[in-house]
């Protein structure tokens, strides 16, 4: 995985997740989890979802705090939020 995750790469991950079988039936929270699961670089055992955070390997980030998650279907807002979460 890259140390620096840029917007074009995040868009690729977003569109990949958007096409997953059954994704439309999931809640926005679960779609967010799937997005970060796809973004995670490392062993599956290193990816852990807690009540308000995700632990994993996301470039330079290891913990993503899940607060104020925008609607997944609003790609612009969602990806802006992801960029901010990755840069904290």
- The per-residue pLDDT string of the chain (88 residues; one tens digit each, 9 = 90 and over) reads 455 688 999 999 999 999 999 999 999 999 999 999 999 998 999 999 998 999 999 988 999 999 899 999 999 999 999 999 998 6
| Residue 88 CB neighbours (<10 A) | 8
First vs last Cα of the chain: how many Å apart? 18
Say what angle helices 7-18 and 28-39 make with each other, to 10 degrees: 120
Evaluate whether residue 51 is within a structural domain. Answer: yes
pTM equals 0.91
Evaluate whether residue 48 is within a structural domain. Answer: yes
Domain range enclosing 49 = 7-87
Evaluate whether residue 1 is within a structural domain. Answer: no
């Amino acid at each position: 995985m890259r140390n620096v995750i840029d917007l074009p790469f995040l868009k690729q991950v977003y569109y990949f997740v958007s096409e997953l079988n059954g994704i439309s039936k999931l809640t926005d929270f679960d779609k967010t989890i799937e997005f970060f699961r796809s973004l995670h670089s490392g062993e599956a055992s290193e990816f852990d979802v807690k009540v308000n955070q995700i632990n994993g390997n996301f470039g330079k980030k290891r913990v993503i705090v899940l607060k104020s998650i925008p609607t997944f279907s609003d790609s612009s807002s969602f990806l802006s939020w992801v960029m901010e979460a990755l840069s904290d």
